Structure 1
């Protein structure tokens, strides 16, 4: 048995219409489906909701739930805001910069471009407070991924023992592509 792909990823939203319009305008995602019911199909709870589905490209679907009867949505106060996010891949650095310019021209505060060596990213928040990342591959991505693949288990084992960042891939953000 093997998973084929992610069917969809779902988040909560504050306002369904605002969310659809924002993702359409800012990230060019098409609105592909809406489902609204007064009872949750899996649990049969009485809980009206609007469930939205957006085309995130290449068969990927981003979904949202608006839950008007629930308390205002919040975040886990024990998890830093930079941790929980969704990242979308764009073709190349030129497209990444074009998105950055487009977002900023529309009043969205953008952090980056951040160079992670294997990819380059920008970060921003959607109108629901969800952190979003756009990332493009680095031209040398394949070679760097091979280096990272060769040390992933050693890194995981060391982290598991020490809870300290292993130095096997410290070149990623140090900009030192030493010979391995």
Structure 2
């Protein structure tokens, strides 16, 4: 039997765990302007039938993107993967431009939240901070040129192959690593 990969339209939602559903809704609404749209609460998990009460909340992240959370009161306390550095697992949202990124930084800091950045990544700049659940968030704005994106797309297979062989960072697009003087 021959099969083919599905034709995906978009990410329907991304779900994370939260400590407190109400606090999470209020934080994402206040800090990132997301609209709380939907909730499901069950005492049994529909897919497995397990007895495990939960509240599943959904927030509109813009552009058809949905961010969801589960509050799981009967599970062990929320924690992160201790074998992975805190900077690795994160959720990144795009903002329009550098002015929007700087305005977002000021807004987030005005909420009493520590912000790292802007950080230069060659084709985008970003800021980083944590939500009340310990999830690292990134706001990013694209700054690359069409030529830079085309170069990176062309180099991607070469870089992956080199990484697979050496486990060392290939430096094919050296311009990515040095921020131009403004």
Equivalent residue pairs, number: 175
> Is this contact kept in 2: 1:112–1:121, CA < 8 A?
yes
Alpha-carbon offset, residue 52 of structure 1: 0.4
TM-score by length of structure 1 reads 0.95
Moved over 4 A (4+): none
> Is this contact kept in 2: 1:119–1:141, CA < 8 A?
no
1:46-105 CA distances to partner (integer Å, 9 max, x unpaired)? 000000000000000000000000110111111000000000000111111111001111
Matched, 1:128 2:133: yes
Matched, 1:101 2:106: yes
For residues 52-67 of structure 1, the aligned pairs below 5 Å read 52-67=57-72
What residue is the counterpart of 1:91 in the other structure?
Answer: 96
What residue is the counterpart of 1:149 in the other structure?
Answer: 153
What residue is the counterpart of 1:163 in the other structure?
Answer: 167
What residue is the counterpart of 2:3 in the other structure?
Answer: none
RMSD: 1.0
Alpha-carbon offset, residue 175 of structure 1: 3.5
Match of 2:179 among 171, 175, 178: 175
> Is this contact kept in 1: 2:120–2:179, CA < 8 A?
no
Structure 2 unmatched ranges of 5 or more: 1-5
Partner secondary structure for residue 57 of structure 1: coil
What residue is the counterpart of 1:14 in the other structure?
Answer: 19
> Is this contact kept in 2: 1:121–1:135, CA < 8 A?
yes
1:89-144 CA distances to partner (integer Å, 9 max, x unpaired)? 00111111111001111100000011112011000000000000000110x33221
What residue is the counterpart of 1:5 in the other structure?
Answer: 10
